[in-house]
Amino acid sequence: MTENERKAVLRGGMSGSWQSEPWLGGYYGEEEVEAVVRVLRASIRDTSVGFGFICDEIEEFERVFAEYIGTKYAISIANAGVGLDMSMRTLDLEPHDEVIVPSINYWAAPMAVLGQRAKLVLCEVDPVTFCADPNDVEKRITPNTRAILPTHMNGMSAPMDDLMELGRRHPHPKHGPIRVIGDAARAVGGGYRGTKIGKKGWMNIFSFHTMKNMTTLGEGGAITTDYDELVPRLRQMRHFGQDYWSTNYKITKLQAAVGPIQVRRLDGFIAARRRLGAQRTKLLEGCPHLVLPSEPEGHYHSYYLYTVLVSSAWAGNKRDELIRLLIEKHGVHCQVLNPPVHRVVPYIAEHTKAQHLPLSDELGKRLFCLPIHPCMSEEDNHYISAALWDAADEVASSS
């Protein structure tokens, strides 16, 4: 992208304002509207029908989603947060048990560990994928390690094969192999070594929140697994439990009605995100002081977010100035998603005081994310790229 091309694009402006994380991550059509109306009408006509508990719509959505991911089972749930809690509860953790979680992360996963009164052990990430670094994870494994909880970060798969191999090589003395549980809240539709994200691991937890790559009326989620022994407990757990305490974690009938339609649209959503991501990376080639996203072999990035690093020399204030210019001068909204949880979440900081994570501390001062969406036009994608070039040039000249 030449300087003259960038100036021309910036003069043209954007078609509208894009949030850094748009509040509707995909799109809905008349098919979803008709499905909701059809199920709503059928549910209110007969008092013996109502909105049901685990009804046909929910079972059909679970079947369709499991088939899409390639697992034997999908258990629908109210949201990914409760799914993370459920995953930790299936481990029957004790206070001395440890679970390893990346610090460059949204705080839901580490909070799920602390919620079960276990020990949270934070790890570093690979600066290319922003996912748990197996080499660092291995250094943090002890005889008390029960699970590794990697996040498939911003649409990129965690290195599940490597992490599962670590789990087999370092079994817990009582419980056997360390379990690998994927937080796939931001990763639906992505791929890893010929499989969909969600296939590999003991289980994976998905979000269908309104911002995600697909959504079931704004909330919802699912747990995928191939492990037969997990399923009865997870199903019991989402409906108040029986053999143990639990509460209500169910998705609704209306949410489930749109689920299969969104699954059918999902590969199209991801294809559009990937096309825009590849185009943007090409437009930004050569932009100074930026490290652009890349896709390691065997990964299929879903581009939930377009994550960029500034150079080490720009960490902190210059990164923040770049973000300020993008927002104030060009109307391009971006965020730091996510800074290390041990620095920004007081409850997590209190429980991880002695833990040392220098790489996460550095990356937290360098990363930021630009908006991307399957409905974004190529013209708007060009504008965002030109705006980043312009802001980077201004930061470079001022320093």
- For each of the chain's 399 residues, which pLDDT tens digit applies? 899 999 999 999 999 899 999 999 999 999 999 999 999 999 999 999 999 889 999 999 999 999 999 999 999 999 999 999 999 999 999 999 999 999 999 999 999 999 999 999 999 999 999 999 999 999 999 999 999 999 999 999 999 999 999 999 999 999 999 999 999 999 999 999 999 999 999 999 999 999 999 999 999 999 999 999 999 999 999 999 999 899 999 999 999 999 999 999 999 999 999 999 999 999 999 999 999 999 999 999 999 999 999 999 999 999 999 999 999 999 999 999 999 999 999 999 999 999 999 999 999 999 999 999 999 999 999 999 999 999 999 999 997
For residue 220, what pLDDT is reported? 98
User: Residue 53 has what pLDDT?
Assistant: 87
From the CA atom positions of the chain, what is the Rg in Å? Answer: 22
299 and 208: one domain?
A: no
Q: Which residues contact 62 (CB under 8 A, 6 or more apart)?
A: 73, 74, 75, 76, 222
> Is residue 293 located within the same domain as residue 349?
yes
**Residue 52 sits in the same domain as residue 80:** yes
Q: What letter would DSSP give residue 219?
A: B
Query: Is residue 15 located within the same domain as residue 47?
Result: no
Domain boundary among 261, 288, 317: 261
Q: Which of 283, 292, 316, 269 is nearest to 384 (CA)?
A: 283
CATH of the domain at 152: 3.40.640.10
What does the pLDDT read at residue 342?
A: 98
Sign of CA dihedral 383, 387, 388, 393: positive
Q: What's the domain count of the chain?
A: 2
282 and 389 in a single domain? The answer is yes
**Are residues 305 and 271 both part of a single domain?**
yes
Q: What is the domain range of residue 17? A: 3-22+266-398
For residue 33, the model assigns a pLDDT of 98
The residue count for the chain: 399
Same domain, 37 and 171: yes
The answer to whether 131 touches 184, Cβ cutoff 8 Å, is no
pLDDT of residue 1: 87
Handedness of CA 75, 81, 82, 86 (dihedral sign): positive
Instruction: Decide which of 210, 226, 261 is a domain's last residue.
Output: 261
CATH of the domain at 11: 3.90.1150.10
Residues 389 and 294 in one domain: yes
Q: Looking at the structure, do residues 210 and 123 belong to the same domain, yes or no?
A: yes
Look at residue 370 and give its three-state secondary structure. Answer: strand
b/e burial code for range 266-280 (CB count within 10 A of at least 16 → b): beebbebbbebbeeb
**Could you tell me the end-to-end alpha-carbon distance of the chain, in angstroms, rounded to an integer?**
23
* Same domain (yes/no): 271, 256: no
Identity of the amino acid at 229 = E
User: Of the residues 261, 294, 326, which one is the last residue of a structural domain?
Assistant: 261
Nearest alpha carbon to residue 278 among 300, 261, 254, 246: 300
Considering the domain architecture, whether residues 330 and 304 belong to the same structural domain is answered as yes
* 380 and 303 inside one domain: yes
Decide: 274 and 302 in contact? Cβ < 8 Å. Answer: yes
Strand partners, 305: none
- Written as six digits, the tokens of 107 are 């705080």
